[in-house]
Structure 1
Amino acid sequence: MTGRHFSRVVFGNKKTALSLIRHLVRIDMAPDLVVTLGETARAGVDIAGGANDMAGVCRDLGIAVYECSNYRLSGADDQRFFTENGFDLAICTGWQRLIPQEILDRFASGVFGFHGSGMRFPNGRGRSPLNWTLRLSGDRVFHNCFRYAAGADDGALFQTTELPIAERDTIAILQFKALVDIKLSAERLFAAHAAGAIPLIDQPDGPSIWLPKLTPDDSRLQFASMPRDQLLGIIRASAPPFAGAFATLSSGDEPRRCVFRNAIAYDGPMGEHWTSAAPGTILDASSDFSVIACLGGPLLVIDSADSLEDKVGERLD
C-alpha cells in the first residue's frame, strides 16, 4: 500500500475505537484508513478492552486497514508506510503509546486525541486520568480533544467538554460518557477540517500536576486508615472493566482476598454495636450484599466476587 493519500484516519485497538468507527460510518464520515496493531504485535501487549478482529471488521465496512508491526510505530515497515503515503487528518483513541514526531509530521492537519481528568489542562496530564478523578472524589471531568505534539498531552486544544460525574458513577459509566463525547468531537473535528480550518487554542505554560500510572495493586482497600468516601472512590475507579478493589480477610488457615466491584454508602437501619465496630468489620451480609464498618459510616457492597455471609463479625485488612 504505497503512493496513496488518506484524508481521514483513525488509530485504535480498543472497542472504543471500533465504536467510534461504526459511528462515523453511520453518519457518512467514515475514515479512509484505520491503523491498528497487526496480529504479531498485538500478541505481545496487554490491551484492556481490546477489540477482537479490528482489522477484519473494518475491512467488512469497506475501510482500508494498515496493521502495524510495532506499537511504537518504530519498525522499518511502519516507517516506510507513513513515508510512502500521504495523510491529512487523524483521530487517535485507545492508542497507549506516543506516536513518533516524524509520523505526526506526515499529517497535514494533525493527529488528534483525547484526555480527560478532574483538572483543567495543563493539570491532570499523565496516566489513568479517569480512574484518578473517581479516586479523588471529583464531580466532573474536563474532557479534551487536542492536537498531538512532541510531549504527552501538551498539544493545542480543539475543544474541552465538561462531563458531570454522578454520585454512583463507576469507571465504566464515566468511560461511556467520554466515548459519547469522543464521537461528537470527531464529528465537529471532521466538519471543521472539511470547512478548511480547525480552530486551536494553545495550552497554558507553567508548572502542572501529573498523574502517575495506577496498577491493580493500587486498588487495595485499607479500612483502618481510609475514610468511607476514599474507599468508595477506589471501588468506583476499580470497577469493571478493571479487576475490582480488594481487601484481605486474615481469619482461617490462609488469608483470603475479597474483591469488591461496586459499593455505595449504607443508609439503612443499624445494629446497636455497629457504631463501635472496628473499621473493616463485616457487620451483616447476605448472598448478594454485605455491610462493612468504615471510618465515616458503613459501606454497602452491592457487587462482589464472593459472598461474605459466613464471615459476619470478621474483619477485613
Structure 2
Amino acid sequence: MDKNKGKKIGVAGNHTTTIDLISNLLHHGYKIDCIINIASSLDGKVAGYTDLGSFAKKNRIKIIRPKTYGLKSEYDKKAIGDLKLDVLLVCGWQRLVPEWLLSTLTIGAFGTHGSWKPLPYGRERSPGNWSLLLGKDTFIDNLFKYDSGIDSGAIVGSIQFKLSPFDTIATYYHKDQLVQQTLLLKHLPALLSGTFNYRMQPTAKKAFLLPKRTEEDGVIDWNWKTEYIFNLVRAVTRPYPGAYTFLKSKKITIWNAIPFHLFRSFKTKRVGEIIAAFDDSTFVVR
C-alpha cells in the first residue's frame, strides 16, 4: 500500500525533533523523499542544531544542504525546486518558508505552532520558552499550512496539552513532538489526497507576536521573584544556552534550580548572596 499516495514528501529541520518526526513517519509506512538540513558551517544560527547527515544516510534519504538558512541563494532554489515536492513538513526550522518554495509545492508546506492561547495570539518566536517563563499551565499546538506570513496560515488541526511546574524546555519539546506526531498521523492522509479541511485564523483578533529571545536574555536578576527565576532556568535550560549569573567576573550557568525555603534568617542576607555551597557543586542564593 502506497501511504504517500504517489506524492513526494520532504522535511525541513535542524533538530533532534526533526529526527523523531521522520522516524515516526517511517515507522508508520510513509516515505520521506528528502531532508533539508543546513550545514554545520551555519549552525551558529540554530539553537540545539543537529546534523542529520548520518541519519539521512542510514535511512537512505536524500539530503539537501542549502547555502543560506533563508533559502535565498540560486543554489537553494534549484536544488530544492528540482525535487518537485508535493508536501514539505517543517519541524525544527526557525525561518519562514519563502514564497518561491511555497509556489513549487503542489499541496503545500505544513508545520506546527502554538502558545498558551489560540492563534493568532503567540505567533513568531520561542512560544515554548515564553510559556514556561510566564508560568503557563497549558499549550495549544496547531498544525497549519504555511503562507507568506508569520505563522498566519490556515489551521488544519489543534491539540491542547498540559504544562506543569516540573516541565523544562526539554520536556516541553517531548510533549510538543508527541502532539505534532499525533496531528500529522491524523491529518496526513487527507493532506496527501488534497481532501483536508481547514479553518482560517480569526482576522478580527489582533495577532500578538512573541518577541525573539537571545542568550543575553538568560542573565538572572536576583531581585526578581523566586518563582520567576525558577521559571527562567527551566525555560532556557538545555538545549538552549541556559540561565546564568556572575561571581565577580566569572560566568556561572545554572541548568537546574528549585525554590528553596528554609530559615527566616535567610531574609537578612543580601539579594544575590550565596548562602551555602555544597560539595556536589550545588548552592543556595538569596
TM-score (norm 1): 0.81
Cα shift readout 1:158-209 (whole Å, capped 9, x = no counterpart): 1122121111211111111111112222212322224541111111113222
Aligned partner of 1:265 among 242, 252, 259? 259
Query: What does residue 141 of structure 1 align with?
Result: 139
Aligned-partner SS, 1:86: coil
- Relative distance call for 1:45 and 1:51 in structure 2 (3 A) is closer
In 1, Cα distance between the equivalents of 2:230 and 2:26?
A: 39
Structure 1 gap segments, 5+ residues each: 294-317
Instruction: Note if contact 1:6-1:86 (Cα within 8 Å) is conserved in structure 2.
Output: no
Q: Return the offset for 1:83.
A: 4.0
The question of 1:280 aligning with 2:261 is answered no
Residue identity opposite 1:291 in structure 2: V
In 2, Cα distance between the equivalents of 1:45 and 1:266?
A: 37
The structure in which a higher percent of residues are strand is: 1
RCO (CA 8 Å, sep 6+): is it higher in 1 or 2? 2
Percent identity reads 27
Q: Return the offset for 1:64.
A: 2.9
In 1, Cα distance between the equivalents of 2:21 and 2:264?
A: 53
Aligned partner of 2:181 among 148, 171, 183? 183
Query: What does residue 74 of structure 2 align with?
Result: 76
Query: What does residue 85 of structure 2 align with?
Result: 87
Residue identity opposite 1:277 in structure 2: K
Aligned-partner SS, 1:116: strand
Instruction: Note if contact 1:82-1:106 (Cα within 8 Å) is conserved in structure 2.
Output: no
In 1, Cα distance between the equivalents of 2:36 and 2:7?
A: 11
Q: Return the offset for 1:272.
A: 4.9
Cα shift readout 1:280-315 (whole Å, capped 9, x = no counterpart): 23222312332222xxxxxxxxxxxxxxxxxxxxxx
Query: What does residue 35 of structure 1 align with?
Result: 36
In 2, Cα distance between the equivalents of 1:286 and 1:85?
A: 57
* 1:5-44 superposed matches below 5 A: 7-37=8-38, 39=39, 42-44=40-42
Aligned residues: 278
Q: Return the offset for 1:44.
A: 3.1
- Relative distance call for 1:83 and 1:215 in structure 2 (3 A) is closer
Cα shift readout 1:72-122 (whole Å, capped 9, x = no counterpart): 222222222444443221211111221211211211221001223223211
TM-score (norm 2): 0.89
In 2, Cα distance between the equivalents of 1:196 and 1:153?
A: 21
Structure 2 gap segments, 5+ residues each: 1-5
The question of 1:203 aligning with 2:196 is answered no
Cα shift readout 1:237-274 (whole Å, capped 9, x = no counterpart): 12111222112234xxxx3333211111224xx33522
Residue identity opposite 2:252 in structure 1: C
Instruction: Note if contact 1:36-1:68 (Cα within 8 Å) is conserved in structure 2.
Output: yes
In 2, Cα distance between the equivalents of 1:136 and 1:272?
A: 27
* 1:1-317 superposed matches below 5 A: 7-37=8-38, 39=39, 42-46=40-44, 47-52=46-51, 54-205=52-203, 206-224=205-223, 226-250=224-248, 255-267=249-261, 270-288=262-280, 289-293=282-286
Aligned-partner SS, 1:105: helix
